[in-house]
A and B are shown apart, each in its own frame.
Chain A
Amino acid sequence: MTPAIQIKDVRFRYEDMDMRFDLEVAAGRFLAVIGPSGAGKSTLLNLIAGFEVPLGGEIALMGRPAAGVSPSERPVTIVFQEHNLFPHLDVWANVALGRATHLKLDAAGEEAVRKALARVGLLGFERRRPKELSGGERQRVALARCLVRERPILLLDEPFAALGPALRRDMLELLTALWREQKLTVVLVSHDPDDARRAATDVAFVHAGRILRHGSVHQVLDATDLPELTEYLGRPL
């Protein structure tokens, strides 16, 4: 079966750090990318999304080469930690933008927006502006927009880092439910290994611009043979 994401010898340089990534994510998997700050986790996500152009190597998404494909044409959607919404647009418009940038939706588009909002628990919030929402609600809006985009790969860059523990758990539950229902391939960048334990099927550990370990949650998080990982997880060597 063709992997959803295929990264072969992709090289990138950020400031003084040379990065080199190899990764395959099968369709329908939920990959958590963990690692210390500055390791290259977000860069990996940006390379997949098309915000950064690799110096070399190949990226294929859903079996098609991604080189030269603009971010909007790639089969991905993305949620950041913050600034996901346009502050002057209401919830409806922020979600509808994912469907059509002219905001003139046909009946099917209207229904898709309504369904997405209902799915993230924000029906009735359509006319609210982002500043009238809590942090968790804002991220739900961003997720709703991802739903109406109907792309098979969902990328998330520390999307719940600014939320409190209870809200974070709720959001992870919502994300997991969406992943299952929509049969998405999810890549979640997080600095918290607990996120991986709660939601992911697989984990990639990134360190100094390299993926040092990639496997199931159990294989990676319980590994004791990788000093960098052991140090990151805070376990005694």
Chain B
Amino acid sequence: MRQRRRLIGAVALVLLIGLLGAPLLALLTAGLDGREVAAGAYLWDVTRFTLLQAGLSAALSVGLAVPVALALAHRPDLPGRRLLLRLFAMPMALPALVGVTGIVGIYGQAGLLSELAGWFELTRFPSIYGLAGIVLAHVFYNLPLATLLLLARLEATPVETWRIAVALGLGARDILRFIDLPAIREVLPRILSLVFMLAVASFTIVLTLGGGPGATTLEVAIYQALRFDFDPGLAARLAILQVAVSLLVAFAAGRSAVPMLVEAGTGKGRGRPQAGSRWRDGAIIGLAAVFVLGPLAAVVAGGLSRSLPSLLVDPLVMRALATSLVIGIAAACLGLIAAYALALAAAAGPARFYDVVSLVTLVVPSVVIAAGWYLLAHRLGVAGWATAPLVVLLNVLMAIPYAASVLIPAVRALAERQDRLAVSLGLTGWRRFRLIDGPLLKRQMALAFGLAGLVSLGDLGIIAIFGGDGLVTLPLLLYQRLGSYRTGDADALALVLMALTLALAWMLPRSVAGDPTP
């Protein structure tokens, strides 16, 4: 049984190495052979901006999340708290373009705040495009994530600790000093690193809100070098730099690693004594809710009030929707199979190796891999619809870390419990899957499938590089409409994309954390 699993793992590994190695090799050769570019200053500027926006985004997202998480932890019985936490989880499932559309709807030149400023005859409203807008959008996406992760840690304080605190007569300040802040300090480096990593690898937000050369990150610069200037040499150098930065950040994040809680803030902290000001907590939670839910409400309101009905009969939109669904479903199916293969191999060992392998595509950004494949496809003269299978495969690569993170621990636990019994009964292969693994892993499989689908449905990085010539997905169409200032269409498309992703997220198993192993 172990041998068969190792063989499956080896096949998955070879495919993974091929899909990752070929584009990296193509980029390396292009970097060496490419025409001479006097790009030193440009590379430095782009790298500096990448790190600056990521640093600001991480500091603001996590810095603001601390009081919000504390306020939520203080108020376990707040009416509507569970709903609010669910809504806080929404941005994680939403494609970045939807959030950007909502943010433009609130903070843009023609947005709600600008309109309000107009009533007070404040004519100079700051532009959403550039560093401020990028950081704002990153905070919109990462503040709820950081809040949920911090809250999960705060709620993990054992009931005995609270009882000791009560027995010792600790007041609100003592509880903050002796219990809450140490708990926050424990996970803070990891959360900061995570948000920093997400912001470094953020493509869509910077592409849509970045304002020209002064506000361009490495990933966006790679895209621009390929699609605007067709300068493979520059793209390759940028890609190598991006991989180096990502590796450095991943290394730093790994060094600061502390156990991260999977179940984020869905429970109530048991035994916490009442402390702190009710009004202050309420105000903090209210402000955070308005900040996070405002742009989502703007997408719904904008989408419903504008050209939704006419858009839904537009053949271009329908084709983009169908393309998104086909690519999404194909990538989810293949991503599930690939992650399951890696999980089977991990169960046969060496487990740590496969854990790391499954995370490789988090470190090597999708735009870098897509750029390498784009160069290869260009050399072979493949373009347009002919690259659709490649788009699916690249989406599979992007989905593997998420799907594998669900399946690897579940399959490993199942193997530990059931292998000896299954072997003694002679259950192997498909029969074992049908009778044992399939039924016991169905929740985890559904979650892995859904996560892979969500990643693929929201992708703009890969499709922006390969798209065009009829190969257009919903996010790409939305990006094109945003770029041509057809905001009515963009609002309606964002609403469709939001509905699609939230429907998929809604169908996912609520949690496998309470039941992480079958």
The residues of A with any CB-CB pair to B shorter than 8 Å are 46, 49-51, 70-73, 76-78, 80, 82-84, 86-89, 97-98, 101-102
Contacts and interface: CB of A to CB of B under 8 A. Distances in A.
Interface string B234-252: 0000000000000000000
B357 to A, nearest CB: 31
Given A80-B160, A101-B171, A86 B178 contact: yes
5 contacts: A71-B166, A84-B164, A86-B161, A86-B179, A102-B174
B189 to A, nearest CB: 14
A49 B163 contact: yes
Contacts of B21: none
Contacts of A101: 168-171, 174, 178
Contact of B160 (A71, A73, A82, A102): A82
B158 A86 contact: no
B182 interface: yes
A46 B164 CA distance: 12
B167 A78 contact: yes
A96 to B, nearest CB: 11
B169 A72 contact: yes
A72 B160 contact: no
A87 B182 contact: yes
Contacts of A49: 163, 167
Interface of B: 158, 160-161, 163-164, 166-171, 174, 178-179, 182, 185-186, 271
A89 B179 CA distance: 10
Contact of B168 (A72, A80, A82, A87): A72
Contacts of B174: 101-102
A88 B170 CA distance: 16
B161 A83 contact: yes
Nearest to A151: B167
Contacts of A89: 178
Contacts of A72: 166-170
Given A72-B168, A77-B167, A84 B178 contact: no
Contacts of B158: 82-83
A83 to B, nearest CB: 4
B160 A70 contact: no
B166 A51 contact: yes
Contacts of B169: 70, 72-73, 101
Contacts of B271: 51
Contact of A51 (B163, B171, B186): B163
Given A70-B169, A72-B168, A73-B169, A97 B178 contact: yes
Contacts of B178: 86, 89, 97, 101
Contacts of A88: 182, 185-186
Nearest to B160: A83
A86 B163 contact: no
A195 to B, nearest CB: 20
A160 B235 CA distance: 63
B107 to A, nearest CB: 40
Contacts of A73: 169
A44 B379 CA distance: 77
Given A70-B166, A101-B169, A101-B174, 20 more contacts: A49-B167, A51-B163, A51-B271, A70-B169, A71-B163, A71-B167, A72-B167, A72-B168, A72-B169, A78-B163, A78-B164, A80-B163, A83-B158, A83-B160, A83-B164, A84-B160, A86-B182, A88-B185, A88-B186, A101-B171
A118 to B, nearest CB: 22
Contacts of B170: 72, 101
A46 B163 CA distance: 9
Contacts of A46: 163
A46 B168 CA distance: 15
Contacts of B161: 83, 86
A73 B170 CA distance: 11
A89 B177 CA distance: 11
Contacts of A86: 161, 178-179, 182
Nearest to A86: B178
Among B163, B169, B170, chain A packs the most CB atoms within 10 A around the CB of B163
Nearest to A51: B163
A70 B165 CA distance: 11
Nearest to B157: A83
Nearest to A88: B182
Contacts of B171: 101
Contacts of A98: 168
B168 A97 contact: yes
Nearest to B179: A86
Nearest to A46: B163
Contacts of B182: 86-88
Contacts of B163: 46, 49, 51, 71, 78, 80
A153 B128 CA distance: 64
Nearest to B183: A88
Nearest to A98: B168
Nearest to B163: A51
Contacts of A78: 163-164, 167
Contacts of A84: 160, 164
A82 B99 CA distance: 44
B34 to A, nearest CB: 52
Contacts of B168: 72, 97-98, 101
A70 B171 CA distance: 12
Contacts of A76: 167
A91 to B, nearest CB: 15
A94 to B, nearest CB: 10
Contacts of B167: 49, 71-72, 76-78
A86 B161 CA distance: 8
A86 to B, nearest CB: 6
A115 to B, nearest CB: 19
Nearest to A78: B167
A83 B185 CA distance: 18
Contacts of A102: 174
Which 4 A/B pairs are nearest by Cβ-Cβ distance? A72-B169, A83-B160, A88-B182, A83-B158
A157 B271 CA distance: 17
B154 to A, nearest CB: 14
B185 to A, nearest CB: 8
Contacts of A71: 163, 166-167
Nearest to A157: B160
Contacts of B160: 80, 82-84
Nearest to B162: A51
A76 B164 CA distance: 12
Contacts of A80: 160, 163-164
Nearest to B159: A83
A115 B185 CA distance: 32
A102 B178 CA distance: 10
A211 to B, nearest CB: 23
